[in-house]
Structure 1
Amino acid sequence: MDLIDPLVRTAYRGAYSLAMAYWFVRRPRTEGTLVGVWHGREVLLLRNSYKHDFSMPGGGKHSGESPRQTGARELREEVGLRVSPGELREVFETQGTEEFKRDRCHFVELELQARPSLTLDNREVVWAEFIDLDTALRLPLVQVVRAYLEDAARRRAGPPPGQRARP
């Protein structure tokens, strides 16, 4: 472990607290993307050093970026996973107000045949693991992640018994 990591994590927590205070006063509109990385029925969750709830790789949209481009950039930055934007598919969008901001949140997905090797910086992202969807839904999740996972559970369940899927 790098000796500077704990200091950087403290700085992240301080910066996040300041951002929350700013968002409380200003109530800004923001836009970002989170990435659902799937291996079968398991989804990649992570923990940021400055938040208590589980989240997913993702972050704010840069000017001119599409949700897929933002997702590909955030995967590279947060867990060291390199994919092209074309490998991601847009599947869900929701609004979040959990952090005193009006956050338009896009979700893109990536389906993997094998679990990838992940690289965490141990500063912003301190933990990441593939978790079974049912288990994930029992964890404390960021509000928009819970909305996405509930939608994903419905989409991945398939048609009710006795009914065919529509073509």
Structure 2
Amino acid sequence: MTSSGRPTALRLLRLAAYRSFYRLPFTWRKRLVRMGSTQYVIGAVTIVRDADADPPGRILLLRQPPGPGWSIPGGILNRGEHPAAGAARELAEETGIRVEPARLRPGVPNAIVHTGGRWVDMVFEVSVPADDALTIDEAEVHEAAWYPLDALPRLTRPTARLLAHYDIGPLAGQAEDD
């Protein structure tokens, strides 16, 4: 408002825009909001630890296409899927390891926001015996192996950055916002 108490042109324009927006049908308003909002892809990953290993322990890593580095099991959640259920599903699909979603412990932190890539990983942890047979999906996974925490192979950059949040891998202690 101006000092005389009258609305400014900008304020009137803004008021007209809001009134027009709220006259639109709900489905159109929802679409407009979604078009203007930042969108993130939501994934779920699992840090799988060897239940029988002595410290420093071992974790399960996968070599997947297209890159040469190693990563942890995970994937994109289906619409409406609970993160723990998605993590359990991806773990079973990629490795043959079947666990109930309730057995997955939320990582601390549980969500890693990768702002540069505009995706969020929900992180879970589980311990399973390494001598259980792995059944890899050869379409998604070239190789799966257990690695000691102090002798990890070359990791993919996103995996190294994610594991750094848990003080694992070459970037341990260097976790920062992605």
TM-score normalized with structure 2 length: 0.62
Q: Kindly indicate whether the alpha-carbon contact (under 8 Å) linking 1:105 and 1:144 is maintained by their aligned counterparts in 2.
A: no
Q: Provide the rounded CA distance (Å) in 2 between the counterparts of 1:147 and 1:90.
A: 18
Q: Secondary structure at the match of 1:35?
A: strand
Matched residue type, 1:117:
A
Quote the offset at 1:80 in angstroms: 0.9
Q: Kindly indicate whether the alpha-carbon contact (under 8 Å) linking 2:58 and 2:149 is maintained by their aligned counterparts in 1.
A: yes
Q: Secondary structure at the match of 2:126?
A: strand
Instruction: Return 5+ residue gaps in structure 2 as ranges.
Output: 1-37, 169-178
Higher helix residue share: 1
Q: State the partner residue of 1:36.
A: 47
Q: Does 1:94 align with 2:112?
A: yes
Q: Which has the larger radius of gyration?
A: 2
TM-score normalized with structure 1 length: 0.66
Aligned length: 124
Structure 1 stretch 122-131 or stretch 139-148: which is displaced more? 139-148
Q: Provide the rounded CA distance (Å) in 1 between the counterparts of 2:163 and 2:131.
A: 19
Q: Kindly indicate whether the alpha-carbon contact (under 8 Å) linking 2:130 and 2:146 is maintained by their aligned counterparts in 1.
A: no
What percentage of residue pairs aligned between the two structures are identical? 31
Q: CA RMSD in A?
A: 2.1
Q: Provide the rounded CA distance (Å) in 1 between the counterparts of 2:132 and 2:164.
A: 24
Q: Kindly indicate whether the alpha-carbon contact (under 8 Å) linking 1:133 and 1:153 is maintained by their aligned counterparts in 2.
A: no
Q: State the partner residue of 2:72.
A: 56
Q: State the partner residue of 1:118.
A: 134
Q: Secondary structure at the match of 2:102?
A: helix
Higher relative contact order (CA 8 A, sep 6+): 1
Q: Secondary structure at the match of 1:134?
A: coil
Q: State the partner residue of 2:156.
A: 142
User: Structure 1: which 4+ aligned runs deviate by more than 6 Å?
Assistant: none
